[in-house]
Amino acid sequence: MSEWRRNLKADPTAWLTDRDNPSVRYHTLIHLLGYSQDHPEVLEARREITSDPRVIKILSKQSPEGHWESAAEPYLPKYKSSYWQIMILGMLGLRKTLPNVRKAMEHVFQFQHPEGGFSECGEVGARKEYKYLEERAKKKGRVMPPEHQWVQEHIHEFQLTCLTGNVCLALIRLGYASDRSVKRGLNWLVKVQNEDGGWLCPYWKAHAKDKHGCFMGTITPLDAFSELPARFRTSEIVNSMEAGIEFLLKHRLFRADHHDFKVIKESWLTLGFPQFFYDILRGLSVVCKAEHADDRRID
């Protein structure tokens, strides 16, 4: 912190520990000031998170069954449905001790494919999509594949690495690091990693011809791996994480390594919250959590 104070010519900790934002206060106490999880101030901040008006507003929109928006579609509409709310609750510092969180996770676990990846939808949502496409196909004189076959293929195809990484990250933050569903999700991410160290959505037809890792598909598995307590990291996860971190470092987090290191996307230099996607701040955070803060390629 003393080096931060010198660089900033100021001390941000009073602002960051303001009681008006218990989530920021909690993260500051833990990650910047090094307080233990059982420190009285940390416990107080965590209790206050549940009564924060922003958290109350999110939970007020949750159904009694545990979902937000449609029970059949945890991914759509974006940013309002169940997956996205769980991600935000994890970022804000809530834990599975809260009954609302446990209900939400019981709902979301049903959308995890047996392979381990989390899919955009389950059977009900996929059948709804099939009916819509079937009507369109009829008007054009086309024939759809058999419904059961199409539904199973659709659910399998939309196991997304970016989504699975984000959901596993949220689960770890919410206190599910040792849960079997998290282990399955992380093991699946290890299994589908690209040769270049990055990740693509492995079954998504839009990526069928792609070879180069996707930054969005890469940052979320790495964020989950780096958030996972060291005691839960298998040798396979450690090796996968190291290969993924090298993918980010060889691109200097935001530059094209084969094109004179030009900026890949200007939008990655614009920082925002919540961190659902990729920007250089999330890249820096993950690289540092993975203990590569001294690598000169991020200077």
The per-residue pLDDT for range 171-202, each reduced to its tens digit, is 999 999 999 999 999 999 999 999 999 999 99
CB 220 within 8 A of CB 169: yes
Task: Please count the residues of the chain.
Answer: 299
Q: Which of 49, 71, 88 is the last residue of a domain?
A: 49
What predicted TM-score, i.e. pTM, was given to this entire model? 0.94
Q: How confident is the model over 227-257, as pLDDT tens digits?
A: 999 999 999 999 999 999 999 999 999 999 8
Burial class (CB in 10 A: 0-12, 13-18, 19+), 93: buried
Taking the CB of residue 155, how many other CB atoms lie within 10 A of it?
20
Q: Which tokens hold the place of 236?
A: 């396979």
CB 237 within 8 A of CB 186: yes
pLDDT of 158: 96
pLDDT of 258: 83
Q: What is the mean pLDDT of residues 2-18?
A: 87
Which percentage of the chain shows pLDDT scores above 90? 91
| Cα distance between residue 203 and residue 14, in whole Å | 48
- More reliable by pLDDT, 208 or 67: 67
Only one residue has tokens 């282990």, namely 183
pLDDT of 3: 80
| Cα distance between residue 144 and residue 133, in whole Å | 8
pLDDT of 1: 59
Q: Is the peptide bond before 99 cis (omega within 30 degrees of 0)?
A: no
Is residue 166 assigned to a domain?
A: no
280: pLDDT strictly greater than 80: yes
| Cα distance between residue 61 and residue 88, in whole Å | 14
3-7, 14-18, 201-205: range with lowest mean pLDDT: 3-7
Residues 6+ apart with CB under 8 A from 13: 1, 28, 32, 33
Residues 6+ apart with CB under 8 A from 236: 187, 190
Among 221, 208, 109, 96, CA closest to 157: 208
pLDDT of 6: 86
Is residue 6 assigned to a domain?
A: yes
| Cα distance between residue 218 and residue 220, in whole Å | 6
Is residue 226 assigned to a domain?
A: yes
Is residue 108 assigned to a domain?
A: no
Q: How confident is the model over 125-170, as pLDDT tens digits?
A: 999 999 999 999 999 999 999 999 999 999 999 999 999 999 999 9
Structural domains counted in the chain: 2
Burial class (CB in 10 A: 0-12, 13-18, 19+), 284: middle
The model's confidence at residue 114, banded by pLDDT at 50, 70 and 90, is very high
pLDDT of 7: 86
pLDDT of 288: 95
Q: How confident is the model over 61-73, as pLDDT tens digits?
A: 999 999 999 999 9
Among 247, 250, 204, 198, CA closest to 221: 198
pLDDT of 209: 85
8: pLDDT strictly greater than 90: no
Q: What are the CA-CA distances from residue 101 to residues 57, 74, 106, 175, 228 (Å)?
A: 14, 15, 9, 10, 19
Is residue 164 assigned to a domain?
A: no
Is residue 133 assigned to a domain?
A: no
CB 158 within 8 A of CB 116: no
The model's confidence at residue 259, banded by pLDDT at 50, 70 and 90, is confident
- CA dihedral angle for residue 194, residue 195, residue 198, residue 204, rounded to 10 degrees: -20
Q: How confident is the model over 64-109, as pLDDT tens digits?
A: 999 999 999 999 999 999 999 999 999 999 999 999 999 999 999 9
Is residue 266 assigned to a domain?
A: yes
Q: How confident is the model over 27-57, as pLDDT tens digits?
A: 999 998 999 999 999 999 999 999 999 999 9
Is residue 188 assigned to a domain?
A: yes
The boundaries of the domain holding residue 245 are 178-299
